[in-house]
Amino acid sequence: MTQTGSLAVNASRQLAEPEADEPALLEAEVEEAIALCGGDVRAALRTTLIANAYLDREVQRLIEAISTGFARGRMRRPPQRLKIRL
């Protein structure tokens, strides 16, 4: 399998492959994220946390935007996350 350098491409490819390759794919994704941050593990983690927070906000915005009639009660509210301040 060749690396394309695009996390979105890797994510879609991951959905099409068997679950047995998940640990290897995860390791490849981790290595790619670290490489994209110039080998800085802390920067890779920081980038991942920022992206995750953005996606959490986007999911919340979309949940609030969808009409109840359209969802017909199939959408459930995700559990509230605790914010930990250090």
Domain of residue 48, residue span: 40-86
Q: Tell me: do 25 and 59 sit in the same domain.
A: no
pLDDT in tens, 58-80: 998 888 887 766 666 666 666 66
Q: Tell me: do 47 and 32 sit in the same domain.
A: no
Residues 6 or more apart whose CB falls under 8 angstroms from that of 54 comprise none
- Report helix angle 22-36 to 41-65, nearest 10: 110
| Structural domain total, the chain | 2
Asked if 4 and 10 count as a contact pair (C-beta separation under 8 A), the reply is yes
Q: Tell me: do 22 and 61 sit in the same domain.
A: no
Asked if 25 and 14 count as a contact pair (C-beta separation under 8 A), the reply is yes
Residue among 48, 50, 15, 52 nearest 32 (CA): 48
pLDDT in tens, 17-52: 557 789 999 999 999 999 999 999 999 999 999 999
The pTM of the whole model exceeds 0.95: no
Asked if 81 and 56 count as a contact pair (C-beta separation under 8 A), the reply is yes
Q: Tell me: do 8 and 28 sit in the same domain.
A: yes
Q: Tell me: do 23 and 44 sit in the same domain.
A: no
